[in-house]
Amino acid sequence: MKNHYDILGLERNAKPNQIKKAYHKLALQWHPDKNSEFGATDQFYQITEAYTTLSKEESKSKYDKRLQTRDNLNELLNYFKQQQEEPLQQYDVRDDFISKEDREFIRNFSNKQEIETIKKKRIRKQK
């Protein structure tokens, strides 16, 4: 969905003189008296609405806040979509506090302990 800045071909940090210049250029191009293309009238009204909103500081400020809120919500929505698409991975908080080498040592030690336990159980069964 195009926002008012997109309609006027401007960046969101456009200055008042840039907004006015873009409006005049597009208004001449799309004015129904000068352009008989299908959709020219709709385009002209969109350009006029964008200019009306962005040319006044108060309405521009409110519009910018709404745009920022929309962007934040879209970003959050995209984050949740991405989380749903990624496979769930096990995460151990302890990994944040233990170095990779220490984790490897613990795994090896644990495996050795398990092997010793199994050996002891076998020996007991044989007796």
> Could you read off the pLDDT of 82-101 as tens digits, one per residue?
877 766 556 555 556 667 77
Q: pLDDT above 90 covers what percent of the chain?
A: 56
Residue whose entry in the numeric block shows the structure tokens 């170095």: 99
Structure tokens at 12: 């969101």
Per-range mean pLDDT, top range of 37-41, 74-78, 111-115? 37-41
pLDDT for the residue numbered 3: 96
pLDDT for the residue numbered 112: 67
d(CA 6, CA 12): 9
* Other CB atoms within 10 Å distance of the CB of residue 21: 14
Contacts of 19 (CB under 8 A, 6+ apart): 8, 10, 51, 54, 55
Q: pTM for this structure?
A: 0.62
Average pLDDT over residues 49-63: 97
